[in-house]
Amino acid sequence: MIQLSKNIRPIERGIRSLVGLLLIYLGFIDTGTIPDALFSFLVGLFGVANLTSGLLGWCPMYHLTRTTASDGE
């Protein structure tokens, strides 16, 4: 079980949340800016990922890359 301890600093959390919101807007709400359906979906997905990590304060990729570098046997 992955331990959800915070691994993002507050400033980065804020930036991530804002970027996430912007990307969700561009991907899912404002269909005009990115007309291509696939691409707007990808952007929206990226936005959701960013917003989630921003709100949780925990980034799975940081978790994978940072903590595995410091623990292990």
Partner 1 sequence: MQLRGWLVVAFSTLSLCIIIIFGYMAHRTSQETRLNTEYSFIQQRLQTLSWLLGQETRLIQEHFSRMPGPVPDQLIGTEEFLVIQNRQGITRTLGNPPAGWQNASINLDSTDDISHVRIDNKHFLAGTISLDNGLSLTLYRLISHRLEGFHDYSAWSRFVVAAMLTLWLAIWGALILAAWISRQLDRQNRRLFYHAMHDSLTGLPNRLMLRQELERLINQPAAALVALYVLDIERFQELNDTLGHVYGDDLLKKIGERLSRNKLSYELMARMGSDEFGIIALHDKHEQIKEFADQINRQLERPVSFDKIQFHTKLNIGVAVFPEHGEETNSLIQNAEVALSRAKSLKQPLILYKHEDNPYSIARLKLISELHHAIKHHELQIHYQAKYDLESGRITGAEALARWEYGKDNYIPPDTFIPLAEQTGLIGQLSRQMLYGAIRQWHEWYRQGHDIQLSLNICSSDFEDPLFREDIRRCLSQWQVPPGRIILEITENTLMETHDTNRRLLESLRDSGVILSIDDFGTGFSSLAYLRHLPITEIKIDKVFIQGMVDSLNDRAIVKTVIELAHNLGFQVVAEGVEDNQTLLLLQEMGCEVIQGYHIGRPVPANEFEDRLTSKESVTGP
Contacts to partner 1 by CB under 8 A: 33-36, 39-40, 42-43, 46, 61, 64-66, 68-70, 72-73
Q: How far is the CB of 51 from partner 1 (least distance, A)?
A: 15
Residue 22: name the closest of 42, 48, 41 by CA.
48
Q: How far is the CB of 30 from partner 1 (least distance, A)?
A: 11
CA 73 to CA 60: how far, in whole Å? 21
Question: Taking the CA of residue 46 as centre, how many other CA atoms within 13 Å lie in the half-sphere pointing to its CB?
Answer: 11
Nearer of residues 43 and 51 to partner 1, judged by Cβ: 43
Q: How far is the CB of 13 from partner 1 (least distance, A)?
A: 18
Do 30 and 44 touch, CB atoms closer than 8 A? no
